[in-house]
Amino acid sequence: MKIFVNEIEREVEKDISVFKIKDIFNKCSDVVVLNGFPIKKDEILKENDRVTLIEKGKKPSMNELESLMIARHTPKVYEKLKVGKIAILGLGGLGSNIAISLARIGVGKLILVDYDVVEPSNLNRQQYFIDDIGKYKTEAMKEHLDKINPFIDVEIHNSYITKENINFLHEVDIIIEAFDDPNCKAEISNFVLLHMREKYLIASSGMAGYYDSNIIVTKKIREKFYICGDFVHEAKEGEGLMAPRVAICANHMANLASKILIDYI
């Protein structure tokens, strides 16, 4: 029968067990993952099962690395993520967290857009480091994503985006609006909804403070348009943006983008 060992198709005898496969292909493996879940007890394999064998503490070759990185994925989703194309407009608290989550799951192409540089007050919620201060956010984030997942295509636009300079959005499947400025949010969102109706648009509203995590939700506003947040607590004087709630909202957006790529496109 056919199974996959570290994402390579193999022909094996029927009723063979996972640990027997481990003995045949990699006696040194410390972690055995079956169909996205690490196992401790032996199991009999079925047709098209996926087994990943990982040796702890050993850095694999680049040829092996990608297959090991996706070992914990649900089977058959990686192929859909790999061909996905997403634009992230704004690389602040939302956008930087979204970019890292989408890179980790292996979305094939990310287009990152921002005009600003990293400054100290960003570090309370954005995915940058002290050494990034003074760098353009696009360039700093690309450096981080290349270290996280070198198998994806990261394109950067270091510019202030307006409806006049967004032709590159026509190539993506999903547009994620992650701006701080409400005027930018409104301008770009309205343009996409009017002139790019074939695109999925994910926006946000309300993630400030340290309010209850569970009031942050994902809502479908209309066909292909979603908003994530609590819809109440916008940033304002006396109510700032903080890492925990911003990251919760960001990952609502990233998770929705994943679902769209896997289930709807």
DSSP string, 127-164: S--GGGTTSBHHHHHHHHHHHH-TTSEEEEE-S---TT
Homologous superfamily (CATH) for 78-264: NAD(P)-binding Rossmann-like Domain (3.40.50.720)
Q: What is the pLDDT of residue 218?
A: 98
Q: Read off the pLDDT band of 166 (50, 70, 90).
A: confident
In 10 A of CB 48, how many CB atoms?
13
Q: In the predicted model, is pLDDT for residue 185 greater than 90? A: no
Give the rounded percent of residues in the chain with a pLDDT score beyond 90: 89
Residues of the chain with CATH 3.40.50.720: 78-264
Token look-up 């192409």 returns 109
- Domain 2-69: CATH superfamily, name plus number: Beta-grasp domain (3.10.20.30)
Work out the angle between the directed axes of helices 137-148 and 93-105 (0-180°, nearest 10).
Answer: 20
pLDDT tens digits, one per residue of 215-236 = 999 999 999 999 999 999 999 9
- Give the DSSP letter of residue 213: G
Measured CA distances, 82 to 1, 44, 140, 260 (Å): 27, 30, 23, 13
Give the pLDDT confidence score for residue 28 in this predicted structure.
Answer: 80
pLDDT, mean of residues 115-125: 98
Read off the pLDDT band of 163 (50, 70, 90).
confident
- State the average pLDDT over residues 17-41: 91
Ranges for all domains in the chain classified under CATH 3.10.20.30: 2-69
pTM of the model as a whole: 0.95
Q: Is the pLDDT of residue 27 over 80?
A: no
